[in-house]
Amino acid sequence: MPKRKLKVFVDAEVLIAPHFSGIGHYTLELLRALDGLIEDRSDIEISLGVYYKRVAQIRAYGFRNFKIRRSPFPLRLSNAMKIRGWQPFYDLFFGKKIYLFPNYTSWPLLFSKSISIVYDLSFEYFPQYVEPRNQKFLSDNVKKSVKRSTKIITISTNSQKEIVKFYGIPKGNVSIVYPGVDQKEFYRRPDSEIKDVMARYGIHGKYILFVGNIEPRKNLKGLLLAYEKLSADSRKQYSLLLVGARGWLDDEIFEIIGRLRKNGNHIQQPLEYVNDHDRPAIFSGASLFVYPSLYEGFGIPPIEAMACGVPVITSNNSSLPEAVGKAATMVDIKSIGDLANAMKSVLGNPKLQANMIQGGYQQADKFSWDNEAKKLLRILEDTNN
């Protein structure tokens, strides 16, 4: 009996969203790796669905082996229909296929199978860290998506456990496809490049680095207060560099930044938005990377820092121990004193730094987009059987 052709439709809304988020990066890199995997596979047909006025944006990514299907629904209308429960059966427009929805929520289907990617359940377990309107949207719609999906993909064992427990679904229906690190981009950059990028963004001297959105869940308040506890000599030698877009509920964070600066502390922020191409150089220039999140579905910035040869301190909660393994120093992030002591220990111990850097390179090697795309392809093929 001939093998059934694998036909997949990917809802590509996240690739044309106005704010290109971590979900957009995850989807893009996974699709790029998948595009390479199916180069000579005539038994696989993958289509990307996008609002017809945004087709040029998708073509600009340079996918070689995907078809582009024009959707009649702009992003705003799509979200409005989800909120009101007015979504039509999506496969009436695009035919019988396996539908991959990479942004938590899905469309109903009449005669097709679907896979939804649910990254974490922070909106259920830690609603105080999510903007209220977005929290309600996710809580209402992810529940529907999980119920009608054939399979769920998530990005860590911790998230898998939370999804299984919260929605009461079999563990076998929830697969893990980790984020990856593109080590053709994230590697230790030469000093000349680091200096050029620092100059371009107005960054000076040695620095302790944080990369992420400026919002409560990232625990910038804890990081700032821990930095304040370092000795005056350490704070004079190392500034604290914060790289990230403003999130929400950030007034208290900026009040603390203002107070610390007023007291002579050197808190740096780039003069403009840091583009993706320059991030590896900024990682490479750091003396230490600190990622003190209160919760993460995975947490890719610590792995990117490791790939760039930087020692990492992070939280011992949620999925972060799974992400960093034994290569990072992990602390109870609720204790500002513990975080400050960890920063002192690493900055003051060159031998420890060298061991952490070596372990970090080995840990980063575990997260490859090519390997994760192979996992995704196996999940699609299993769903097709």
**Cβ contacts of residue 51 below 8 Å, gap of 6+?**
13, 16, 70, 71, 72, 73, 74, 75
In terms of domains, do 354 and 372 share one?
A: no
The total of structural domains in the chain comes to 2
93 with 41, same domain: the answer is: yes
* pLDDT reading at 79 higher than 90: no
Average confidence (pLDDT) over 354-358: 98
Q: Single out the residue of 35, 39, 36, 37 nearest to residue 48, CA to CA.
A: 35
In a domain, 186, yes or no: no
Q: What is the pLDDT of residue 216?
A: 87
Q: Count other C-beta atoms under 10 Å from residue 206's C-beta.
A: 13
Q: Is residue 82 part of a domain?
A: yes
Mean per-residue pLDDT for 372-377?
Answer: 97
First to last CA, the chain: 13
Instruction: Work out the mean pLDDT of the chain and round it to a whole number.
Output: 93
Domain membership of residue 1 (yes or no) is no
pTM of the model: 0.92
Domain-located, residue 260: yes
130 band by pLDDT with thresholds 50, 70 and 90: confident
Place of tokens 């990072």: 328
Question: Tell me, what's the pLDDT at 105?
Answer: 93
How confident is the model over 126-135, as a mean pLDDT? 88
Kindly report, residue by residue over 242-263, the tens digit of the pLDDT: 998 877 778 889 899 999 999 9
The three-point CA angle 81-83-246 to 5° equals 110
Residue 197 included in any domain: yes
As a whole-number percent, the residues of the chain with pLDDT over 70 amount to: 99
Type of residue found at 11: D
User: What integer pLDDT is reported at residue 271 of this predicted model?
Assistant: 80
Same domain (yes/no): 158, 231: no
Helix-then-strand count for the chain, H and E: 17, 13
Considering only residues 193 and 2, tell me which one the structure prediction assigns the higher pLDDT.
193
Predicted confidence band of residue 233 (pLDDT cuts 50, 70, 90): very high
Identify whether residues 262 and 157 lie together within a single domain: no
106/150 same-domain check: yes
- 3-state class of 149 per DSSP? coil
Cβ atoms within 10 Å, residue 252: 12
Give domain status of residue 12, yes or no. Answer: yes
Q: What is the pLDDT of residues 282-294, one digit of tens each?
A: 999 999 999 999 9
pLDDT of residue 2: 57
pLDDT at 303: 97
Pairing of strands 174-176, 151-154: parallel
Domain assignment of residue 138, given as a range = 6-180+368-384
In the chain, where do the E strands start and end?
Answer: 6-11, 44-51, 66-71, 98-101, 113-117, 151-154, 174-176, 206-211, 238-243, 267-268, 288-291, 312-315, 329-331
Tell whether 248 and 350 lie within a shared domain: yes
Asked whether residue 185 is assigned to any structural domain, the reply reads no
Burial class, 348, CB count within 10 angstroms (exposed 0-12 / middle 13-18 / buried 19+): exposed
Least confidently predicted of 215-219, 359-363, 364-368: 215-219
**281/197 same-domain check:** yes
* Judgement on whether residues 338 and 376 belong to the same structural domain of the protein: no
Residue 290, SS3?
strand
CA distances from 290 to 135, 152, 303 (A): 27, 31, 12
What is the per-residue pLDDT for 37? 94
Asked whether residue 13 falls in the same domain as residue 93, the answer is yes
Same domain, 173 and 261: no
Q: Is the pLDDT of residue 134 over 80?
A: yes
| Statement to judge: residues 212 and 353 lie in one domain | yes
Question: Which of 10 and 126 is assigned the larger pLDDT?
Answer: 10
Residues 155 and 242 in one domain: no
CA distance 146 to 152: 7
Question: What is the per-residue pLDDT for 19?
Answer: 73
β-pairing, 206-211 with 98-101? unpaired
pLDDT digits (tens, 9 = 90+) for 139-177: 999 999 999 999 999 999 999 999 999 999 999 999 999
- Encode pLDDT of 161-218 as tens digits: 999 999 999 999 999 999 999 999 999 999 999 999 999 999 999 999 999 988 888 9
Contact call for residues 247 and 214 (beta carbons, < 8 A): yes
CATH number at residue 94: 3.40.50.2000
Identify whether 236 is part of a domain.
Answer: yes
Cβ pair 184, 368 in contact under 8 A: no
Question: Helix, strand, coil proportions of the chain in percent (round to 5)?
Answer: 50, 15, 35
CB 151 within 8 A of CB 115: yes
